[in-house]
Amino acid sequence: MCHDLSFSAKTVEYITDLIPNIVIDNAFNIDFSVASHVLSMSHKNCPAVYLKEGTTRLMGFEWGLVADFMKTEELLRKYRNQMANARSENILDKKSAWYKIRQNRCLIAVNGIYEHRRVEGVKNKIPYFIQLRESKCMLLPAIYNYSPIPDIETGELRGTFSIITRSANELMKQIHNEGVNKHRMPVIMEPKQALQWINEELTDDHISKFLQYEIPADALLAHPVYMIRTTKERPDGKEKYEKYDYGVKMEELLFT
């Protein structure tokens, strides 16, 4: 699955270069100082690209989709953390929660994602940073919904999202190799290809074909990083997404 990602102000610069006519929403509000690692359960705002009335827009949507039935704080606490990801296999299932909002499609702009790997001889799972080989930015297909609970301060309905996942390619199978949802990964494409996801004319047949795409393993880069789900500073003082030397046969931890 996908519960850890990274973006920065440069991610937004890349998006505005890729889509020159994009409109940045007046309510665009993101804290880039803590964006080198964003955890799904933190429900932080992330850069989301979507279409509204024929115009491509950039807005901050909260990670962790709030469905229409989550109308109380109790229901939010019970279900929201389960809505960080949406399985691609369920998007067109008429019995699923995703089907009725399948037209609410957006792209989450990130520099890369993190995933944890079990390595023999190492006590804790090792986090990896994964990014595109040929691009400084990923646009991850997602489904969004506006929360039925208004924001306490503004009274506005917050945009929320779930990242779409699929079965992993060969690289991601090696990295995401343990856990209930092992061998899963986000749907990843080159940015210009991913932009098809927000085409308002996409039919269910187009959606199905889109979600079946598996990015080749050699289109991705991956390297181990220091623990990301911790408040401890990295011993080497580098950024969370930078390569970390664990001092144990590094050649066994790298993918080339």
pLDDT reading at 254 higher than 90:
no
* pLDDT higher than 70, residue 106: yes
What is the mean predicted confidence (pLDDT) over 1-14? Answer: 95
For the chain, the distance separating the N- and C-terminal CA atoms, rounded to the nearest angstrom, is 22
Q: What pLDDT does residue 249 have?
A: 62
- Euclidean distance between CA atoms 207 and 197, whole angstroms: 8
Structure tokens at 68: 């229409």
Strand 105-110 to 45-52 pairing: antiparallel
Cα pseudo-dihedral 33, 35, 37, 40, rounded to 10: 130
**Per-residue confidence band for 155, with pLDDT thresholds at 50, 70 and 90:** confident
Residue-wise pLDDT for 166-214, tens only, equals: 999 999 999 999 999 999 999 999 999 999 999 999 999 999 999 999 9
Going by pLDDT thresholds of 50, 70 and 90, the confidence category of residue 231 is: confident
pTM given for the model: 0.95
Q: Which domains does the chain have, with CATH numbers?
A: 4-252 (3.90.1680.10)
> How large is the average pLDDT for residues 35-55?
96
Q: Return the percentage of the chain with pLDDT > 90, whole number.
A: 84
